[in-house]
């Protein structure tokens, strides 16, 4: 079943976003290697929110234990009280492809009902 993870990190949004951007390539590799479906990150008034959609809970857990991810997280030196996580099984996922000229995507919707 498709699986959603939401991580909220409290702190200075600009500093958190800068740190996120510095390690994005490594984390993108972790996501790619564990079949991540979608990844979103947004600076918020309170810090940084990261949303991931995985093919299953098992994929999420395997990525969470990946040594590359663990090294990146340790390098950010975040306090435990800064981090709030949520995990949910997804009931429905709809992905829309971009249709702008030259984008390489076709316009379509993909729905996955779990």
Q: Does domain 3-113 fall into CATH 3.30.70.100?
A: yes
- The pLDDT of residue 95 is 80
Euclidean distance between CA atoms 2 and 35, whole angstroms? 11
Q: What is the pLDDT of residue 100?
A: 55
Beta bridge partners of 48: 9, 43
pLDDT value of position 84: 97
Are 63 and 54 in contact by the 8 Å Cβ rule? The answer is yes
Q: pTM surpassing 0.75?
A: yes
- Closest C-alpha among 111, 105, 97 to residue 2: 111
Per-residue pLDDT tens digits of the chain, which is 114 residues long:
999 999 999 999 999 999 999 999 999 999 999 999 999 999 999 999 999 999 999 999 999 999 999 999 999 999 999 999 999 999 998 887 655 555 454 444 455 555
What are the helix (H) ranges across the chain? 13-33, 57-64, 67-76
Task: Indicate the domain borders of the chain.
Answer: 3-113
């Amino acid at each position: 079943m498709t699986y959603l993870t939401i991580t909220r990190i409290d702190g200075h949004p600009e500093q958190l976003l800068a740190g996120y951007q510095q390690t994005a390539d490594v984390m993108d590799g972790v996501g790619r290697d564990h079949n991540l479906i979608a990844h979103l990150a947004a600076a918020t008034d309170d810090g940084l929110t990261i949303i991931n959609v995985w093919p299953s809970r098992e994929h999420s857990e395997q990525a969470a234990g990946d040594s590359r991810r663990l090294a990146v997280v340790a390098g950010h030196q975040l306090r435990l009280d800064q981090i709030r996580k949520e995990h949910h099984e997804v009931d429905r996922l709809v992905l829309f492809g971009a249709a702008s000229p030259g984008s390489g995507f076709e316009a379509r919707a993909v729905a996955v009902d779990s």
